[in-house]
Structure 1
Amino acid sequence: MKKQRPVNLDLTTISMPATAKASILHRVTGVALFFALTFVLWAWSESLSSPEGFELVKGLFNGFIAQFIAWGTLSVLAYHLIVGIRHLIQDMGHWEELESGNSSANIAIAISVIVAVLAGVWIWS
């Protein structure tokens, strides 16, 4: 049986609720953390290998690219942690209704943006 259903291939016309955006970004930040972990482990290993390695890593963090990577890693970690706590609260049975779910997603995203700005001020000051 062939069904004639409309197919919308233009994804820009779909408006997702805040809960969907928060959930998708939570998955994306999990993948980003996996890749950021390679930089973190390398810097940690190199800094603990010798005094020269420590000075190398310390010198790298004076550059813009390393500071940007550090800021990105902290921002992604903060978002993943904040929205992860939101998901745990939802698993306990809270904020499952449409209105409270959207409100908690918007609040979690807003808190994450504030934390990202604060992390940027901390790194670049």
Structure 2
Amino acid sequence: MPATAKASIFHRVTGVALFFALTFVIWAWSESLSSAEGFEFVKGLFSGFIAKFIAWGTISVLAYHLIGGIRHIIMDMGHWEELESGNFSAKVAMALGVVASVLAGVWIWF
């Protein structure tokens, strides 16, 4: 499968994952703003591995989806439509997504 197809499919998959991840984000935000006890509950929840993993996944998905979206917008403006430049931009977008994911992991766990 060409890199352009992988990048496009991954952009769609991250969009769906982001939709579902936002339910957790919106719930945590709502709970933390409801009261001081709610804030402490969410704060305590985020000290656990599972919550950190969900946060890391959400940030990683958001980062790649943003990078892929910017790539698609640039392509909509008529750039990177040739095979060589399209493949290169897809590989760069995926590499930037990996870098963003690693940076998010370092930020959350260290």
TM-score by length of 1: 0.88
In structure 2, what is the Cα distance between the partners aligned to 1:117 and 1:77?
A: 13
Query: How many angstroms does 1:78 deviate by?
Result: 0.2
Q: Report which structure shows greater RCO (CA 8 Å, sep ≥6).
A: 2
Structure 2 counterpart of 1:12: none
What's the secondary structure of 2:52's corresponding residue? helix
Q: How many residue pairs end up in the alignment?
A: 110
**Match for 1:62 among 27, 30, 47?**
47
Structure 2 counterpart of 1:77: 62
**Match for 1:33 among 2, 15, 18?**
18
Percent of aligned pairs with the same residue? Answer: 82
Structure 2 counterpart of 1:49: 34
Query: How many angstroms does 1:33 deviate by?
Result: 0.4
Query: How many angstroms does 1:107 deviate by?
Result: 0.4
In structure 1, what is the Cα distance between the partners aligned to 2:10 and 2:100?
A: 16
Deviations along 1:24-68, whole A, 9 cap, x unmatched?
000000000000010000000000000000000000000000000
TM-score by length of 2: 0.99
Kindly provide the amino acid, as one letter, of the partner of residue 106 in structure 2: V
| Greater gyration radius | 1
Deviations along 1:67-109, whole A, 9 cap, x unmatched?
0000000000000000100000000000000000000000000
Kindly provide the amino acid, as one letter, of the partner of residue 85 in structure 1: I
In structure 1, what is the Cα distance between the partners aligned to 2:96 and 2:20?
A: 24
Structure 2 counterpart of 1:115: 100
Kindly provide the amino acid, as one letter, of the partner of residue 81 in structure 1: L
| Structure 1 consecutive aligned stretches of length 4 or more whose deviation exceeds 2 Å | none
Q: Which has the higher helix share?
A: 2
